Amino acid sequence: MATLDDARRAKTTVLSMVEQHDAVNGVGVARGDDGYVVKVNLNRPAPDLTLPASVDDVPVTWEVVGEIGKH
């Protein structure tokens, strides 16, 4: 089970892996089924983006959430 601190450390690694991809609009930490996960938010499907299943034993998830803007 990944702790919040574990996930925060893993987030830094995941961010460096995906920050240049134009489909990525956010990388964060979220609660998963068993502890914390790193969550990658996408503005569109990105079949060319390869994400690891986990980083340092912290699960990595993704979701297409669309464009993020002001409300």
Cα–Cα distance between 14 and 18 in angstroms, integer? 6
Q: How many independent structural domains does the chain possess?
A: 1
pLDDT digits (tens, 9 = 90+) for 38-55: 999 999 999 999 999 999
Query: CATH no. for residue 17?
Result: 3.30.300
Asked whether residue 13 is assigned to any structural domain, the reply reads yes
> By residue range, what is the domain housing residue 42?
4-64
- Give the model's confidence band at 67: pLDDT under 50 very low, under 70 low, under 90 confident, else very high: confident
For residue 10, report the phi and psi dihedrals to the nearest 5 degrees.
Answer: -65, -35
Give per-residue pLDDT as tens, 8-30: 999 999 999 999 999 999 999 99
Complete DSSP assignment for 4-35: HHHHHHHHHHHHHHHTT-TTEEEEEEEEETTE
| CA 42 centroid distance within chain | 9
Q: Rounded to two decimals, what is the model's pTM?
A: 0.89
Q: Assess if residue 70 is contained within a domain.
A: no
Is residue 41 domain-resident?
A: yes
Identify the CA nearest to 38 among candidates 19, 15, 69, 66: 15
